[in-house]
Structure formats: structure tokens, C-alpha cells
Structure 1
């Protein structure tokens, strides 16, 4: 086993013309230490990638044949990309937003938006079937605890049990179906649809 080289020995070897592969062996750990500073952490890079995907989908969505095809498409995308689409759509409408620093372990809040000075929590669910009334009630409890309002946004269907849960949490507003498509298309009319 060879002894570890000191800093002076490394510099001396570099001055004497160490073969290129030694240089790469010496600099590789340094490069890995600098990567997060140059390009961000893995989490930050993932967030940027999902935000780019969300922007591409927002451009593609209006090109689909009809609203039914758009909802089917939304049900198939990555759930984190769906969250980023919502945040981007709110930002494009001039709202101040706050994205989460991470996707999992967010406590059920997928982002925040301020509309007319009012803070709204966002919970995004990319369902393909009926939404869970338990999810609605849990989100309502969180909204009450935070003393603000909330948007429960989903791509699925809202059954009668879930509608009853929504009536029990008046500070939570549902965004789904046509209202969701209006929001994603940039149509400010999404705010005026009573659901």
C-alpha cells in the first residue's frame, strides 16, 4: 500500500509532468465537490427539469383535440410535473407564488399562491378516478391551521362524498375539470367558476 501524497508532492509531480490520467484522478474528487456549486444539488436540478417539462406541456395542451383529451393527458403526466404546471400557470397570471423546496415530505402542501393579497395553499392530486374525501378533509384541516385559504386541484372526478367534504371545509376551493383547463390555458375566467 503506497502512502498518501502530500499537497507539496502533488504540486511537484504536476510541475514534472505527471501523465494525464493521474491528473484526472487527482482532479475528479474536486470536480464532484464543485458540481453542486456550479449546477445546483440533485434536487435543484430535478426541480428545474420538471419546470421545463411543465412549460412544454403547457404549450402542448392547447394543441390536443378537445378538453377530454387534455384531461386524459394530464392524468398520465408525472405528478411533480403537474405540481410545477400549476405553479407556472399561477405565475403566468401575475400571481406571486412560492414553490416547495422538495416534492415529498411537504406535509400535503404542494405550493403557495397569493391572489389579491390573500395566501392560498395548493394541494395537487393527479387522480385518474374519484378523489378521496379524506384528502379533502385533511387539506381543509391544514388550511384552517395555517389560517388561510386553499386550492384542492385534481384531474379526477369529484363524487358526492367528496363534494360533501368540500362543503365541510369552506376555505378550500376545488379546481378541476373545465376550471383546471382554464387555469392552465391562462384564461382568467377560472377564478369565476363556482364549483
Structure 2
């Protein structure tokens, strides 16, 4: 009896210590991301794409990062979250896909993405020796398309692929040597 009670107390202490390692603001954003992931993978996945984009753009930017990581976790990928949101060096998270660690950069845009953000993320991926996913809610403009056309480091996730990620739909194989190519820009890798 005393041994069982001791085991329960130790388990509770471990749980409390683990929760104490995650700051309150992070817990709030993770909870918001889990709620949104449940909604978007449930009946809300049938909403028009414009409404889904509007909901993603209206999210807290840091909760949007957590949402993407949550969606990768739900697909069975290992996820590494940063210990802090600011000063993260441009890496919003990491995800393990087919044994390879991919860096994540999450941006909520209402208009076209900024090519300098894509260039900075590609430089970061090269410096870290990793591949990266630039995930955004905006429009991928011609400059950004040209910038990633020859890149073997960065893939852009937006549009239908982003909606598939957050609604639990099918995703293209990110590890395939030939990712989907845009017919308008045949040298551009777009997923």
C-alpha cells in the first residue's frame, strides 16, 4: 500500500516537473493549436478553401507554428519544438521525415511572400546542412518561384498542400527526388 502510494506521488511529481518545463504561454498556444487541428481535421475540413485560409491567417502567429508541428505529429512524424519562440534563429521547428530532419519556417501572409524571407531561410538551411519546408498562407510570387527553382534545400508548402496538411488530407512524398513541379514554372519545386 505504501509502495503504491509512493509510486503515485512520484508519477505526479514527474508530471508537474514536465509541465513546469513548458512555459505557460507555450502551453496556451499548443492548446490553441490542438483545438484548431481537431476542428480542421473534423467537419470544418469541408469548409471552402478561402474560409480555411482566413482562419489560418487570423491565428496567433506562434499558435500557427504550433499548429503545423501538431499536424506533422498527427501524421506520425517526430517533431522537435524550439524552447522559445523569439530568437530561434529563423527555425520555427523541426520535423523528422523518412529519417531526415527538416527545418520548418512558418509564415502567415495575406499577400505574396517576400523573396528575401525565402532566401534567408535557404541560406539558413545550407548553413545547418538540412533541408527545409517554407510553409506559408500567402501567394508564392514569381521571384520566390525563381529563387527556389534550383534549390535542393527548400520546398515551399502552400495552397492545396498546406490545406491537406492541416485537414489531414494526402500529402506528396517530400523525400521523392522529383517533387511536384508547377506547369507555369517547370523548374520550380512546389508542394
For this structure pair, what is the TM-score category when the shorter chain's length is used for normalisation?
0.7 to 0.9
**Which runs of 5 or more residues in structure 1 are unaligned?**
1-35
Q: Name the counterpart of 1:24.
A: none
Q: CA–CA distance in 2 between the matches of 1:168 and 1:38?
A: 43
Q: Hey, what's the Cα distance between the residues in 1 that align with 2:119 and 2:23?
A: 31
Q: Partner of 2:171: helix, strand, or coil?
A: helix
CA-CA distance at 1:37 after TM superposition: 6.2
Pick aligned residue for 1:143 from 125, 138, 145:
125
Query: TM-score, length-normalised on structure 2?
Result: 0.77
Q: TM-score scaled by structure 1?
A: 0.75
Q: Which structure has greater helix proportion?
A: 1
Q: Per the alignment, in what secondary structure is the counterpart of residue 97 of structure 1?
A: strand
The alpha carbon displacement at 1:65 in A equals 2.3
The alpha-carbon deviation at position 40 of structure 1 amounts to 2.4
Deviation at 1:59, TM superposition (A): 2.2
Of 149, 160, 178, the residue aligned with 1:178 is: 160
**CA offsets per residue over residues 15-67 of structure 1, 9 Å max, x none?**
xxxxxxxxxxxxxxxxxxxxx969627x6111111011011111223516211
Of 65-74 and 173-182, the range deviating more from structure 2: 65-74
Aligned-residue offset at 1:130: 0.6
Pair 1:75–1:160, CA change in 2 (3 A): same
**Separation in 2, partners of 1:160, 1:102:** 33
Supply the distance in 2 between the matched residues of 1:133 and 1:38 (Cα, whole angstroms): 39
Q: Which residue of structure 1 lines up, in the alignment, with residue 143 of structure 2? A: 161
Counterpart check, 1:112 vs 2:91: no
Within 5 Å, give how 1:45-64 maps onto structure 2.
Answer: 45-61=24-40, 62-63=43-44
Tell me which of 4, 11, 20 is aligned to 1:40.
20
Cα distance in 2 for residues equivalent to 1:159 and 1:116: 30
Q: Which has the larger radius of gyration?
A: 1
Q: Secondary structure at the match of 2:138?
A: coil
The aligned counterpart of 1:98 is 80
Change (3 A) 1:38 1:169: closer
Q: CA RMSD in A?
A: 2.0
How far apart, CA to CA, are the structure 1 residues paired with 2:155 and 2:19?
38
The alignment partner of 1:124 has SS state of: strand
CA distance in 2, matches of 1:107, 1:58: 26
